[in-house]
């Protein structure tokens, strides 16, 4: 039975699947997951996957790994990955007067945190403000340049070090608070969409897999600590040794100041360049055209910036591809994505799971990872 | 001549297929088996008289080049550099694009049209573009994003000096092939694993996977082309290497420190065989050795290089004599390898 | 403070990649105290002390024995040496410093012109070993040889100060623990790692080879308790052993942090939180080796890192020794 038939038939379900995606977004967009403190989100993801995959576990560093066997013996080990951590802050020191000095975890943009409310995870969750003098008394110099993180502080309303120490301790994490809202045209804004968007895409894939008979062995990796150096993916890649790895992260879809023409709403972005295996990239684009999935392309001239960096060079090498969700205003509390792009990314990944000749291409005589080269 | 052939081939990080085919064609009769790893490294194995140990020899196949970022409405092409390339040497360069090797030029505004101010500024790559003679995006529809762009420089020799592109690291690839040719009819003293790596210029990617799974490797000899700055005059400074003084041995760079014993061994081989050599007198840069020596439990690794003036630019220059001595040193190291412990 | 016969760890030469001398003296000391000594390709020394329990875990402790230094790249006709840095160092810490080579040759770091002091660069500096010309210089040192700032450590009742505290103080802690340890359930691998200052290299290959179940790096960490000082580290001198929470190379899993805090409290060892917004330690090499390993860090707070006057508190060092010993003697049910 040809795969086309399966899918033309099932496209009528697009509506319900989109609703399901929105449900995940509703449940997860407020869950914090700062690099190194990903437990809450990780446990939720495991609970979502229960019953949908053959096994699900966490490894030493905290990565969530799910495995779903394929229907064919000759299938490859196909890994889909999204990092589940987000940037955040860590309390560094409590000053005598009760204010909290902090440092960034991951690439925190100091320009977007001034004057904002934060949620601090001390003994309990509490609010704080990253204080900023009003224009009436701040000097021209102070208002015209971006303050460095070392100059900023969090005010949780305490008046002394002793008082503040009842609520927080150095080492506690915090996130810049945000509102999660639906904007026009299927756009959604929230903090942490880098890389919650990728997580949503993978969750969508897990659901789509329930309805299909995929031939390859599917490995699902929600990795930790990407924002501080791609760490989770490095060790998970070693432990899992996939044949093929598809990374689902976010990329720039900004309407202003964007060196490319990539934007939200025009479909997921397929990565091109040395970090990706050209025949696999070619295949993904072919599938997208065949199945009428709008997509965009982005050239990355140097490997780096996503988990594909380590996954590709695991052991003898892994065939990698990147399918990214375009995102505006990265690393700010007001990131914006288009939920349709997320859904399309899930579908694109799904088609790979029953693509028979997934590794065919220019270099026919390349081996898979376990061969002696 | 092999060096000329390799120098003229176009291959960059992610697009090394032409080098892979050419090398395969060249060495297939000389080795026992050839394979390609998932990243694209070409691996050739040759059994030696002593099969209990092996020597890992490496050279990278990729050169610095460019990749198509986008085609504009005007028909001009925007690009990114692949590997370390600066804007300073680009305006006025001739290039070829894509598998069809479409000729193009990296445009520079007519001199007369540039203001005094602007004439002093070095352009950034993002402000440059390539002209293939098209007048609209439609006319370049066959040029896709992600296609590769190479310098158009054809190899020639003059007064004993070689001129061409990609001497970093076609010189290494040539020296490695010549070494395999040398041992094509008789077995090398110990088994050889010759790995032609990919994507060195964008982060030592092939190097990261080159040594995985290899057992009982005595050491790794990495063959490179390196900076020769003997034409830049600096007071009281040494050039990093000098033309005509022989191959350079690296004691340290940003990615590895050569182990003392291996360094002394290489120097003693050169001295014993009467091969002129110099030390690479600078610690900048990195090579595949950087990741190879830390793979799994670690392998001692050393890099020898031929001095090349103007690497990472359209025209490189090196001494034919240096290149001969470089190939000789590589062979001598392989011959003496069993003595290293 | 009584260094108890371990002065050698503070004075023996050993720059990244050329640690042979310090390795030899450590091996001599450890030889009688451990069951097995192994070398690794990058130059690290691994001393294995077997435990007495059943179901023994492999516990790896690392401290790096390499120090920052300089490598000679050129010798001019007048016998002056040009150099490059081995490991990162602020240029401001170099001027006028005495350096020592492996063979004992002494030199001083000079600068070409006084005006260069305004914008320091190693390109304008050189090492003067007092040679009359290149020939004479070559009799004592060669290109590719390494040297380090020579500032012998002095220990008083309250403080230790000198060069190379990063991370010979960590090595000192390991040697002191090695001496004290009699009963311990697990196998302890004391790794004196090489080439840390140029990229955690020794710790990487040793972790891969020995596949520990859990690891701790014992390193020097910053101490930001200076007048009007900028906040880089959360540590202060005299406040106890640093229990690492985070630096730029590792975020220690919470369960290890809590475990070490509980252990310190139980044994009445003074401790403090170590959060650094810069820097890296061997804990990363352990944590990211193979499929991932549980790793943490115990740190000695040190002021003026990478200078000739690194300073730490004797009490903090003692606290680290006690905490690491307590860790080794514990069942470590993580």
pLDDT of residue A277: 95
Residues 6+ apart with CB under 8 A from C204: B294, C42, C285, C289
Would you state the structure tokens that stand for residue B247, as one six-digit string?
């191959």
Q: How sure is the predictor about B341, in pLDDT bands with cuts at 50, 70 and 90?
A: confident
Those chains having 3 or more beta-carbon pairs within 8 angstroms of chain C are A, B
The residue that leads in pLDDT, A270 or B185, is: A270
Gyration radius of chain A's alpha carbons: 22
User: What is the distance in angstroms between the CA of the first residue and the CA of the last residue of chain B?
Assistant: 36
What are the helix and strand counts (H, E) for chain B? 8, 17
By annotation, the residues of C acting in catalysis are 196
Chain B environment of A373 (Cβ under 8 Å): 35-37, 41, 43
What percent of chain A stands above pLDDT 90? 81
> Is-contact B154 B166, C-beta < 8 A?
no
- How many residues make up chain C in this entry? 334
Put simply, the answer to whether A371 touches B35 (Cβ < 8 Å) is yes
Model confidence pLDDT, tens digit, residues A57-113: 999 999 999 999 998 777 899 999 999 999 999 999 999 999 999 999 999 999 999
Model confidence pLDDT, tens digit, residues B309-335: 999 999 999 999 999 999 999 999 999
Would you state the structure tokens that stand for residue C73, as one six-digit string?
């790249």
Q: What is the mean pLDDT of residues A299-316?
A: 95
Q: How many CB atoms lie within 10 A of CB C314?
A: 17
Distance CA C149, CA C97 (A): 6
pLDDT of residue A5: 38
* C201 to chain B: closest CA residue: B294
Put simply, the answer to whether B146 touches A273 (Cβ < 8 Å) is yes
Q: How sure is the predictor about A362, in pLDDT bands with cuts at 50, 70 and 90?
A: very low
Residues 6+ apart with CB under 8 A from A16: none
Would you state the structure tokens that stand for residue B92, as one six-digit string?
């006025």
Establish, for the pair of chains A and B, how many residue pairs have beta carbons separated by less than 8 Å. 94
Cis peptide leading into C167, omega within 30 of 0? Answer: yes
Those chains having 3 or more beta-carbon pairs within 8 angstroms of chain A are B, C
Cis peptide leading into B169, omega within 30 of 0? Answer: yes
Sign of the dihedral through C-alpha C111, C116, C117, C120? negative
Would you state the structure tokens that stand for residue A264, as one six-digit string?
């939200």
Which of A243, A195, A242 shows the shortest CA–CA distance to A222? A195
pLDDT of residue A243: 95
What is the edge-to-edge ordering of all strands in the sheet holding C154-155? C154-155, C159-162, C310-313
Distance CA A216, CA A213 (A): 9
Q: How sure is the predictor about A6, in pLDDT bands with cuts at 50, 70 and 90?
A: very low
Q: How many CB atoms lie within 10 A of CB A32?
A: 19
Whether A365 shows a pLDDT value over 60: the answer reads no
Put simply, the answer to whether A316 touches B212 (Cβ < 8 Å) is yes
Which of B46, B2, B33, B56 shows the shortest CA–CA distance to B214? B56
A96-A99-A102-A107 Cα dihedral, nearest 10 degrees: -160
Q: Which helix (H) or strand (E) holds B173?
A: helix B167-182
pLDDT of residue A3: 43
- Candidates A81, A226, A227, A335; catalytic one: A226
Which of A160, A202, A190 shows the shortest CA–CA distance to A48? A202
Look-up of token digits 């016998």: C79
Model confidence pLDDT, tens digit, residues C93-140: 999 999 999 999 999 999 999 999 999 999 999 999 999 999 999 999
Q: What is the mean pLDDT of residues A319-331?
A: 97
Whether A2 shows a pLDDT value over 50: the answer reads no
Chain A environment of B40 (Cβ under 8 Å): 317, 363, 366
This prediction's pTM: 0.94
Probe site for chain C from B257, B283, B291, B295 (most C CB atoms < 10 A): B257
Chain A environment of C257 (Cβ under 8 Å): 171
Whether B193 shows a pLDDT value over 70: the answer reads yes
Model confidence pLDDT, tens digit, residues A244-266: 999 999 999 999 989 899 999 99
Distance CA A120, CA A128 (A): 7
Q: What is the mean pLDDT of residues A43-60?
A: 96
Coil, strand or helix: which one is B70? Answer: strand
* C251 to chain A: closest CA residue: A36
A245 half-sphere exposure, CB direction, 13 A CA radius: 33
Which of B303, B195, B311, B199 shows the shortest CA–CA distance to B254? B303
B56-B59-B60-B64 Cα dihedral, nearest 10 degrees: 150
> CA of C300, closest CA in chain B: separation in Å?
28
pLDDT of residue A9: 41
Put simply, the answer to whether C291 touches A238 (Cβ < 8 Å) is yes
Question: What single DSSP character describes residue B12?
Answer: B
Would you state the structure tokens that stand for residue B227, as one six-digit string?
């900076």
> Is-contact A85 A227, C-beta < 8 A?
yes
Sign of the dihedral through C-alpha A352, A353, A355, A360? positive
Model confidence pLDDT, tens digit, residues C143-183: 999 999 999 999 999 999 999 999 999 999 999 999 999 99
Would you state the structure tokens that stand for residue C158, as one six-digit string?
């309250």
For the residues of C302-333, what is the DSSP string, one character each?
Answer: EBSTTSTTEEEEHHHHHHHHHHHHHHHHS---
Distance CA C35, CA C14 (A): 25
Chain B environment of A315 (Cβ under 8 Å): 209, 212-213
Distance CA C87, CA C100 (A): 16
Out of A104, A228, A238, the one facing C251 most closely (by C-beta) is: A228
Q: What is the mean pLDDT of residues A26-41?
A: 95
Q: Is residue B73 classed exposed, middle or buried when 0-12, 13-18 and 19+ CB atoms within 10 A define those classes?
A: exposed
Q: How many CB atoms lie within 10 A of CB B88?
A: 9
Q: How sure is the predictor about A143, in pLDDT bands with cuts at 50, 70 and 90?
A: confident
Chain A environment of B145 (Cβ under 8 Å): 272, 297, 299
Q: How sure is the predictor about B117, in pLDDT bands with cuts at 50, 70 and 90?
A: confident
Q: What is the mean pLDDT of residues A155-163?
A: 96
Residues 6+ apart with CB under 8 A from C105: C129, C140, C141, C147
> Is-contact C181 C191, C-beta < 8 A?
no
For the residues of A258-316, what is the DSSP string, one character each?
Answer: -SS---TTS--EEEESTTS-HHHHHHHHHHHHHTT---EEEE-SSS-SSTHHHHHTSTT
Model confidence pLDDT, tens digit, residues B222-245: 999 999 988 876 655 678 999 999
Would you state the structure tokens that stand for residue A7, as one six-digit string?
């899918």
Look-up of token digits 């904007």: A183
Whether B148 shows a pLDDT value over 80: the answer reads yes
> Is-contact A202 A24, C-beta < 8 A?
no
Q: What is the mean pLDDT of residues A338-356?
A: 95
Distance CA B96, CA B154 (A): 12
pLDDT of residue B234: 66
pLDDT of residue C163: 95
Q: Is B200 considered catalytic here?
A: yes
pLDDT of residue A363: 52
Q: Is residue A64 classed exposed, middle or buried when 0-12, 13-18 and 19+ CB atoms within 10 A define those classes?
A: buried
Put simply, the answer to whether C290 touches A235 (Cβ < 8 Å) is yes
Q: How sure is the predictor about A1, in pLDDT bands with cuts at 50, 70 and 90?
A: very low
Q: What are phi and psi of C252, to 5 degrees?
A: -75, 130
Look-up of token digits 């880098």: A194
Distance CA A289, CA A295 (A): 8
Model confidence pLDDT, tens digit, residues B153-176: 999 999 999 999 999 999 999 999
pLDDT of residue B113: 81
Distance CA B108, CA B89 (A): 11
> Is-contact C333 C255, C-beta < 8 A?
no
Gyration radius of chain C's alpha carbons: 20
Q: How sure is the predictor about A10, in pLDDT bands with cuts at 50, 70 and 90?
A: low
Beta partners for residue C128, in sequence order: C80, C108
> Is-contact A323 A82, C-beta < 8 A?
no
Model confidence pLDDT, tens digit, residues B234-277: 655 678 999 999 999 999 999 999 999 999 999 999 999 999 99
pLDDT of residue A12: 62
Distance CA A89, CA A123 (A): 16
B92-B95-B97-B99 Cα dihedral, nearest 10 degrees: 180
Out of A37, A62, A92, the one facing C231 most closely (by C-beta) is: A92
Q: What are phi and psi of B52, to 5 degrees?
A: -80, -20
Distance CA C74, CA B283 (A): 12
As for the ipTM of the complex, it is: 0.93
Distance CA B93, CA B90 (A): 5
- CB proximity A9 to B under 8 Å: no
Q: What is the mean pLDDT of residues C289-303?
A: 97
pLDDT of residue C285: 97
Chain B environment of C144 (Cβ under 8 Å): 251-252, 263, 279
What are the helix and strand counts (H, E) for chain C? 8, 17
Model confidence pLDDT, tens digit, residues B71-94: 999 999 999 999 999 888 999 999
Which of C12, C49, C47, C41 shows the shortest CA–CA distance to C27? C47
Beta partners for residue C155, in sequence order: C160
> CA of A70, closest CA in chain B: separation in Å?
22
Model confidence pLDDT, tens digit, residues C225-279: 999 888 999 999 999 999 999 999 999 999 999 999 999 999 999 999 999 999 9
Mark out chain A residues that contact chain C at CB-CB < 8 A.
Answer: 35-37, 59-63, 90, 92-93, 101, 103-105, 150, 169-171, 225, 228-229, 231, 234-236, 238-239
Mark out chain C residues that contact chain B at CB-CB < 8 A.
Answer: 16-18, 20, 40-43, 71, 73-74, 76, 80, 82, 84, 86, 112, 123, 126, 143-144, 195, 198-199, 201, 204-205, 208-209
Residues 6+ apart with CB under 8 A from C238: C313, C315, C316
């Amino acid at each position: 039975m040809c795969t086309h038939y399966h899918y033309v038939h099932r496209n009528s379900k697009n509506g319900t699947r989109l609703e399901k995606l929105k449900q995940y977004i509703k449940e997860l967009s407020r869950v914090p997951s700062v690099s190194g403190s990903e437990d809450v989100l990780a446990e939720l993801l495991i609970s979502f996957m229960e019953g949908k995959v053959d096994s699900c576990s966490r490894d030493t560093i905290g990565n969530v790994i799910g495995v779903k066997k394929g229907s064919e013996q000759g299938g490859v080990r196909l890994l889909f990955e999204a990092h589940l951590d987000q940037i955040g802050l860590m309390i560094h020191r409590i000053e005598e007067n009760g204010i909290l000095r902090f440092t960034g975890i991951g690439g925190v943009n100091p320009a977007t945190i001034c004057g904002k409310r934060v949620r601090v995870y001390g003994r309990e969750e509490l609010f704080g403000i990253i204080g900023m003098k009003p224009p009436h008394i701040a000097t021209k110099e102070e208002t015209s340049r971006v303050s460095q993180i070392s100059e900023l502080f969090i005010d949780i309303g305490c008046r002394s070090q002793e008082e503040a120490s009842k609520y927080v301790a150095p080492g506690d994490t915090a996130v810049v608070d945000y509102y999660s809202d639906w904007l026009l045209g299927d756009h959604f804004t929230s903090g942490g969409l880098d890389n919650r968007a990728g997580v949503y895409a993978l969750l969508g894939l897990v659901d789509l897999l329930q309805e299909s008979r995929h031939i390859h062995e599917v490995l699902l990796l929600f990795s930790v600590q990407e924002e501080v150096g791609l760490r989770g993916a490095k060790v998970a890649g070693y432990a899992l040794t996939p044949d093929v790895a598809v990374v689902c992260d976010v990329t720039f879809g900004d309407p202003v100041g964007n060196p490319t023409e990539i934007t939200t709403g025009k479909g997921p972005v397929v990565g091109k360049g040395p970090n990706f295996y050209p025949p696999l990239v070619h295949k993904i684009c072919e599938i997208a055209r065949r199945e009428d999935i709008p997509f965009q392309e982005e050239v990355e001239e140097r490997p780096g910036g996503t988990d594909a960096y380590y996954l590709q060079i695991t052991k003898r090498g892994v065939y990698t591809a990147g399918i990214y969700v375009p995102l505006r205003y990265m690393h700010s509390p007001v990131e914006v994505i288009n939920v349709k792009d997320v859904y399309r990314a899930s579908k694109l990944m799904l088609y790979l799971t029953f693509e028979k000749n997934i590794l065919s291409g220019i270099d026919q005589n390349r081996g898979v990872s376990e061969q002696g080269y | 001549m092999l060096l000329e052939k390799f120098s003229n081939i176009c291959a960059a990080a992610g697009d090394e297929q032409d080098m892979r085919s050419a090398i395969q064609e060249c060495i297939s009769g000389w080795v026992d088996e050839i394979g390609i790893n998932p990243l694209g490294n070409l691996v050739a194995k040759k059994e030696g008289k002593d099969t209990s140990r092996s020597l890992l020899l490496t050279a990278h196949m990729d050169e610095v080049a460019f990749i198509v970022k986008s085609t504009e409405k005007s028909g001009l092409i925007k690009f990114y550099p692949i590997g370390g390339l600066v804007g300073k040497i680009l305006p006025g360069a001739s290039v070829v694009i894509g598998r069809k090797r479409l000729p193009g030029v990296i445009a520079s505004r007519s001199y007369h049209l540039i203001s005094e101010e602007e004439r002093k500024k070095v352009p950034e790559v993002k402000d440059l573009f390539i002209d293939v003679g098209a007048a609209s995006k439609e006319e370049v529809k066959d040029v896709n994003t992600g296609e590769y762009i190479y310098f158009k420089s054809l190899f020639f020799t003059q007064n004993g000096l070689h001129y061409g592109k990609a001497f970093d690291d076609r010189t290494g690839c040539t020296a490695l092939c010549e070494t395999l040719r040398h041992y094509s009819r008789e077995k090398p003293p110990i088994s050889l694993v010759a790995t032609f790596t990919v994507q060195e210029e964008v982060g030592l990617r092939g190097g990261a996977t080159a040594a995985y799974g290899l057992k009982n490797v005595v050491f790794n000899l990495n063959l490179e082309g390196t900076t020769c700055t003997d034409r830049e005059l600096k007071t009281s400074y040494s050039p990093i290497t000098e033309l005509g003084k022989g191959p350079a041995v690296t004691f340290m760079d940003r990615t590895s420190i050569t182990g003392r014993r291996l360094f002394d061994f290489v120097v003693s081989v050169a001295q014993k065989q009467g091969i002129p050599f110099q030390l690479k007198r600078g610690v900048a840069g990195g090579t595949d050795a950087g990741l190879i020596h830390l793979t799994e439990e670690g392998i001692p690794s050393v890099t020898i290089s031929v001095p090349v003036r103007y690497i990472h630019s359209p025209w490189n220059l090196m001494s034919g004599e240096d290149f001969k001595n470089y190939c000789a040193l590589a062979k001598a190291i392989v011959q003496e390898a069993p003595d290293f412990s | 403070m009584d260094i108890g016969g371990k002065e050698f760890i503070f004075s023996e030469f050993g720059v990244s990649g050329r640690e042979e001398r310090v390795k030899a003296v450590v091996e001599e000391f450890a030889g009688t105290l451990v069951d097995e000594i192994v070398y690794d390709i990058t130059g690290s020394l691994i001393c294995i002390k077997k435990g007495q329990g059943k179901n023994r875990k492999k516990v790896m402790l690392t401290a790096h024995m390499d120090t920052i230094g300089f490598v000679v790249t050129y010798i001019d006709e007048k016998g002056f040496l040009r150099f490059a840095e081995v490991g990162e160092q602020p240029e401001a810490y170099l001027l006028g410093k005495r350096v020592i080579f492996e063979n004992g040759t002494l030199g001083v770091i000079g600068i070409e012109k006084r005006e260069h002091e305004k914008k320091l660069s190693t390109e304008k500096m050189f090492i003067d070993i007092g040679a009359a010309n290149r020939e004479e210089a070559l009799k004592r040192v060669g290109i590719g040889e390494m040297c380090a700032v020579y500032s012998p450590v002095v220990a008083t009742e309250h403080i230790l100060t000198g060069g190379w505290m990063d991370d010979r103080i960590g090595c000192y802690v390991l040697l002191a623990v090695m001496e004290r340890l009699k009963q311990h359930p697990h196998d302890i691998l004391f790794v004196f790692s090489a080439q840390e200052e140029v990229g955690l290299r020794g710790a990487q290959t040793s972790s891969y080879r020995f596949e520990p179940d859990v690891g701790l790096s014992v390193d020097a960490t910053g101490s930001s308790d200076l007048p009007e000082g900028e906040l880089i580290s959360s540590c202060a001198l005299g406040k106890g052993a640093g229990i690492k929470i985070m630096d730029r190379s590792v975020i220690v899993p919470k369960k290890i942090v809590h475990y070490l805090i509980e252990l310190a409290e139980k044994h009445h060892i003074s401790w403090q939180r170590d959060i650094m917004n810069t820097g890296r330690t061997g804990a990363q090499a352990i944590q990211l080796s193979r499929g991932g390993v549980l790793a943490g860090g115990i740190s000695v707070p040190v002021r003026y890192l990478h200078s000739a006057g690194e300073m730490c508190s004797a009490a903090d060092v003692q606290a680290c020794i006690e905490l690491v010993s307590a860790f080794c003697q514990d069942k470590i049910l993580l």
